[in-house]
Chain A
Amino acid sequence: MTQAYQDTQQAGATIDVRYVANLARLNLTDAEVATFQAQLSQIVAYVNEIRALDVEGVEPTAHAAPVRNVFRDDVVVPGLEREQAIANAPEHSADLFKVPTIVE
């Protein structure tokens, strides 16, 4: 299972709201941090409640719907014209989406 999921499994784990917000590129005020801290704690508490259930013999699943193998055939279909594709970009050159210089 994922790290985030495992973290919430630890009873009483507190979420570092500033850290999580930074991962999501969110700039929060102190007041917002306090609000989300309370809300996220409630969510973790709820998840912990589910942990109390007896799930012995229940297969873990990532999806609730019993649907598998939704595929398409390997066929090329027309997409967007380039002019259409780049029209919505805040900035573009003749053929590229323009972004600020990428520093690796």
Chain B
Amino acid sequence: MGKYRTTIGLEVHVQLKTHSKMFCGCGTDFGAPPNTHVCPVCLGYPGALPVMNRDAIRLTVISGLMLGCRINSYSKFDRKNYFYPDMPKNYQITQYDLPLCLGGSVEIEVGGRVRTIGITRIHLEEDVAKNLHYATWSGIDFNRAGVPLMEIVSEPDLESPEEASAYLLALRQILTYAGVSDCNLEEGNMRCDANCSLRPADRVELGTKVEIKNINTVKGVQGALEYEEIRQAEALDGGRTIVQETRRWDADLGITSSMRTKEDAHDYRYFPEPDLMPVALPAEQVAAWKAALPELPQARRERFVAQYGLPEYDARVLAAERAVADYFEAALRLIPGSPKAVSNWVMTDVLRVLSERTIDIGRFPIPADALAELIGLAEKRVINSNTARDVFALMLDEGGRAGDIVKTRGLAQVSDTAAIEKVVEQAIAENAKSAEDFRQGKAAALKFLVGQVMRLSKGKANPQMATEMLVARLGKG
């Protein structure tokens, strides 16, 4: 760009991981048949009274603490009034002037540049119902209505679409570390509205902002903002003014389009929700939650380097996802002497399978203790590394413990000198030409002979010992 500066702020909606809804006891599990988790409260029946879910408050405060927010000691709920079929009581219960959390920040890194993105506030509200559209009518499913929804509002600190997507990823990482949400984008756990404006590079005051609604993927956020940057720059180049409006991102077409909302639609007439009493969090309670916070991703990365002596790269890969980091540490606890070996197995073999099968580590078939047992056998040279990979594949498909598999299939590495000696002799006898080549100084012949020893021993010979014996027999190559 160069000619213009981009300013972006994000409002991120995150569904909290509670069992029941925000103001009633209906379940929150995703994918249930339509309208099966409903009651008079979340259907908005007149006279039905909401009661706050204690855990939703706790999870919001924990999120705030993880993001370095100040926790309001006195907080209340308000009604946001509007008419829309997904909210039949004609107001959404949310927080207006006294949200649970204020301030805070998220650190991002784009192109080697580290920046701190401010958070304005985090408030708690109820999610709305889901609209389904058909040819001649629309249908409403209220299962989602009333699910606790946390809104995290950023400062307009983001300067590019890449930064916006880095911010979302960093936020998701921290929130999944905190265990407050699954942040599963396909299930709509995390949704995003973006505010975006452009201004000439030499001007200080911000340009007219455009709001892009309901973007549901990280890729979508970046795509929508990249499109807006170009659209707004072209408008400014052409001497047109940017209209302050709400636009919709169409992921299929890759464009944003005006939603033509009426101007007065944004007059929400907030007022205090009379059906809910205020929340006053005792300082001791907040302090106790703060003391029990899980490690932040960055702290865990640094600890992996300091405590286990892992390379920076390994630490970053392993700590990217809390569940993977937990898995790594659970395995390492059983073989504490081999951090690098465990790291290699998790980074290459485990993560490869996860990406091939597009599953998360929670559904990975080999438990951490079983992987530790396998790595232990390889580290103690009971099996060689090729056999270890075969056993891994067996455990993956058929389950079972490495020790049992090695025993029942007779896979243990043969380190018995006499036994290997016999196979070495056989290999030399059967491959006299190669043996001669090696004696004449052809180093590659040794590799071939070791391969023959491994073949004749059905992969069980200790390859180091076989190599040493071949060299001893044939003289230095």
Contact = CB atoms under 8 A, between A and B. Distances in A.
Interface of A: 1-5, 19, 22-23, 25, 62-63, 65, 67-80, 82, 85-86, 91, 93, 95-102, 104
B278 A72 contact: no
Interface string B14-30: 00001110001111000
Contact of A95 (B34, B85, B97, B279): B34
B43 interface: yes
B138 A99 contact: yes
A23 B263 CA distance: 11
B142 interface: yes
Contact of B271 (A5, A19, A104): A5
- Indicate the member of B35, B38, B76, B269 with the most A CB atoms within 10 Å: B35
A57 to B, nearest CB: 17
A74 B280 contact: no
Given A3-B269, A86-B35, 16 more contacts: A2-B271, A4-B270, A25-B83, A70-B276, A75-B25, A79-B38, A82-B33, A95-B35, A95-B141, A96-B139, A96-B141, A97-B140, A99-B137, A100-B138, A102-B131, A102-B133
A5 to B, nearest CB: 7
Contacts of A80: 38-40, 43
A76 B35 contact: no
Contacts of A70: 51-52, 276-277
Contacts of B83: 25
B138 A76 contact: no
Interface of B: 18-20, 24-27, 33-40, 42-43, 51-57, 76, 78, 81, 83, 85, 96-97, 131-134, 136-142, 248, 259, 264, 267, 269-272, 274, 276-280
A86 B141 CA distance: 10
Contact of B277 (A4, A22, A67, A96): A67
Interface of B is mostly: loop
A67 B18 CA distance: 25
20 contacts: A2-B270, A4-B270, A5-B271, A23-B264, A63-B76, A63-B272, A63-B274, A72-B25, A74-B19, A75-B20, A75-B25, A76-B19, A80-B40, A82-B36, A85-B142, A96-B132, A98-B137, A98-B139, A99-B140, A102-B85
B133 A74 contact: no
B131 to A, nearest CB: 6
A72 B26 CA distance: 12
Contact of B25 (A22, A67, A77, A86): A77
List the 7 shortest-distance A-B pairs measured between CB atoms, nearest first.
A96-B139, A79-B39, A62-B272, A77-B25, A74-B55, A71-B54, A97-B140
Given A63-B272, A72-B54, A75-B20, A82 B267 contact: no
Interface of A is mostly: loop
A61 to B, nearest CB: 8
A95 B37 CA distance: 12
A82 B25 contact: no
Contact of B259 (A69, A99, A104): A104
Nearest to B74: A68
A76 B19 CA distance: 6
Nearest to A84: B38
Contacts of A102: 85, 131, 133, 138
Contacts of A99: 85, 137-140
A4 B419 CA distance: 92
A63 B39 CA distance: 27
A2 B91 CA distance: 15
Contacts of B270: 2-4
A30 B229 CA distance: 47
Given A2-B269, A69-B280, A80-B40, A74 B56 contact: yes
A22 B264 contact: yes
- Indicate the member of B56, B136, B139 with the most A CB atoms within 10 Å: B139
Nearest to B282: A69
A100 B137 contact: yes
A72 B139 contact: no
A93 B139 contact: yes
Contact of A79 (B26, B132, B134, B279): B26
A69 B74 CA distance: 10
Contacts of A63: 76, 272, 274, 277-278
Contact of B35 (A23, A69, A85): A85
